[in-house]
Amino acid sequence: MEEEKLSRADVDSLLNGGKDDPAKPAPAPEAPAKPEVSAKTPPKVRVMAYDFKRPERVGKELVRALQSLHEGLARNFGASLSALLRSMVEVRLISVDQLTYREFIQSVEIPTCFNLVRPKPLDRNWILDVSPALLYPIIDRMLGGAVSSESNLTRPLSEIELRLAGRITNLFLRELKASWASVIVLEIDVERVESNPQLVQIVPPNEVVIMVSFEITMGTTRGMTNLCIPFNTIERVTSKLTNSSWSGYSTVPPNEETKKEMANRLDSSTTHLVVTLAKSQIRTGDLFDLQVGDIISTEKDVQHPLEVEVSNGVKFLASPGSYKGRKAIKIESIVGE
């Protein structure tokens, strides 16, 4: 067999590792391909994140309806609370938010005044949460103290304090019932009061609830009151809520029938009326020594008219008298006219 001998070119090729001959020019690089331009540009698609743990069940229209409904509640509750405490109290609606029941519980401070409310004929319960930072100054005021925000107690309410706080709660629920009367007639009762919100579970943790937040201001004292409404309790009346016919902020001028209905409702409403006979000052020792039949002299002339106050404001001037054997007053003039 004849042996094959390698030539010089073959040896150089092996030494170069199979590389191309440097003398041989390298091929020119190919130009990058130009992207094809489409005749029609696809439209931009807006992508929105959706959290399945927090479904958006409360629409904007329903939120606006709840805001209008509870703005009236805030005004009426502020007037009633001012009359009860004989002090200027401002109640303002802060927000109407959608969140889960777990988030609502985590936002409540401990201890608190957690009222479990049953609004019949609706299913399940609502919750009225009143901040202790607001309750303690109000209780001090109800017991004869001054308006102060120095109370920093962090303990549950005592039995006596719970009874006094119940007057504030019942006042709020009365105005709540009146505000919802245009939507549904409710009978609202407090089932129990808890200081720890973790002990109360009215719906599953991931259930959607509506939190209506109010800010109450009394002097330098400020505090929050939250109303928690599970959405599934009002789901069947949402159509009535979103109906603009009950709203008080209508752009359509009222007709005669609406005016007559409003007048009938005002005729049956009640208000506080206070008549001040006279004002005087005496020493505490003389006050304790008073006996039946004693006379206290005042600087007011018997001919001067009496001031008649309606909702903490002087509205009329009157003269005293009797009518059918009962004490009475006769309206002489209207203040401001």
Percent of the chain with pLDDT over 70: 79
Q: Which DSSP string corresponds to 16-62?
A: TTTPPPTTSPPPPPPPPPPPPPPSSPPPPPP-----TTS---S-HHH
- Nearest C-alpha neighbor of 101 from the set 229, 234, 235: 229
> Does the structure show a pLDDT above 70 at 17?
no
Residue labelled with tokens 């609406």: 258
Please report how the helices 159-179 and 60-85 are oriented relative to each other, as an axis angle in degrees rounded to 10: 130
- Count of positions (residues) in the chain: 337
CA separation for the pair 321, 318 (Å, rounded): 10
pLDDT confidence of 61, banded at 50, 70, 90?
Answer: confident
Q: What is the pLDDT of residues 232-266, one digit of tens each?
A: 898 888 888 876 444 444 445 677 887 888 888 77
In order of their start, the domains of the chain are 60-248 (3.40.1550.10), 273-334 (2.30.330.10)
> Does the structure show a pLDDT above 80 at 195?
yes
pLDDT of residue 29: 54
> Does the structure show a pLDDT above 70 at 130?
yes
- Nearest C-alpha neighbor of 81 from the set 134, 37, 30, 39: 134
